[in-house]
Amino acid sequence: MSYALYVLPSAARDCDRLSREIYERYKKTVAKLASMPRPPGCQKLVGEDGYRMRFGDYRVLYRVDDAAKKVFIYRVKHRGKYPDKVSKTKTVGDGC
Give residues with Cβ within 8 angstroms of 17, minimum separation 6. Answer: none
Q: Which amino acid is at 63?
A: R
Percent helix, strand and coil across the chain, each to the nearest 5: 30, 30, 40
- For residue 50, report the phi and psi dihedrals to the nearest 5 degrees: 175, -175
CA distance 60 to 7: 11
Which pTM was predicted?
0.81
Cα dihedral 73→76→79→80 (10° resolution): -120
pLDDT in tens, the chain (96 residues): 699 999 999 999 999 999 999 999 999 989 999 999 999 989 999 888 899 999 988 999 999 999 999 999 999 999 876 554 444 444 444 444
Domains by residue range for the chain, with CATH: 4-90 (3.30.2310.20)
